[in-house]
Structure 1
Amino acid sequence: MTDNAQKTVFITASAASKVTELLQREMAASPEEHEGKEYALRVGVQPGGCAGLRYALYFDDRQLDGDEVVTHDDVTIRMDKMSAPYLRGATVDYVDGLQQSGFTIDNPNAKGSCACGDSAQF
């Protein structure tokens, strides 16, 4: 596990606020299940989608061997060693609008994406 001074991945204030809100809601719903665990937002890439790789975002209390760890606005982000190179310089944002609500990733490393925006090509 490394705390990367380069800040491999960035998170906007909007996304950090939503991550905190969702994590607090999840922990309040079943406190006994989460007691004593330290959760982080795990951001990764995995095979899938029509462009080749899709992003994965979820809460995780595990620390995997080789994880890169960064902290922004009191939100800890973990990336596995295979995903980290694809995510360098990416920004996680949260959009809440009429046509779209959800997390987005602006990644300068992506060479393209599919028409639906569900996956990226590197």
Structure 2
Amino acid sequence: MTATTNIDITTAPADGVLLTDEAAGKVKALLESEGRDDLALRVAVQPGGCSGLRYQLFFDERQLDGDVRKDFGGVGVVTDRMSAPYLMGATIDFVDTIEKQGFTIDNPNATGSCACGDSFH
């Protein structure tokens, strides 16, 4: 059975990323399993991949100059100042279906992506 997530993209913040309830719940569960409450989900854009840029999602305890930080139900999401323009209005979701499990990023700034979906431009 496939769970459907209804997201009103028009409410996505223009100054950062939006974390869906499903993604926030998964991040919170991962942090709890690690026994850490001092980490935030860092979302970054780095050069690489087939299309030129690729996403990185990882837990980070650092706070860098210029970071954009948002809170989603107790889950901190941090974006560095270089990545922020590439991620404005992007929606991060978590899917768990028979075909696919993991975080997905719907980015209105991406003009194209590779077939594997791992990189964009």
TM-score by length of structure 1 reads 0.85
Contact 1:7–1:70 at 8 Å: present in 2 too? no
SS at match of 1:113: coil
Summarize deviations over 1:39-68 as a string: whole Å, max 9, x none: 110001001110010100011010001111
- The runs of 5 or more residues in structure 2 that have no matched partner are 1-12
Equivalent residues in 2 for 1:67-82 (5 A)? 67-82=67-82
- CA–CA distance in structure 2, aligned partners of residues 115 and 75 of structure 1: 31
Equivalent residues in 2 for 1:19-98 (5 A)? 19-27=27-35, 38-98=38-98
Summarize deviations over 1:65-89 as a string: whole Å, max 9, x none: 1111111122111111100000000
Deviation at 1:115, TM superposition (A): 0.8
Runs of 4+ residues deviating >6 angstroms: none
- CA–CA distance in structure 1, aligned partners of residues 46 and 64 of structure 2: 16
Measured on the aligned residues, the alpha-carbon RMSD in Å equals: 1.4
TM-score by length of structure 2 reads 0.85
Whether 2:36 is the aligned partner of 1:18: answer no
Please name the residue that 1:30 is paired with: none
Contact 1:10–1:90 at 8 Å: present in 2 too? yes
Higher share in strand: 1
What number of residue pairs does the alignment pair up? 109
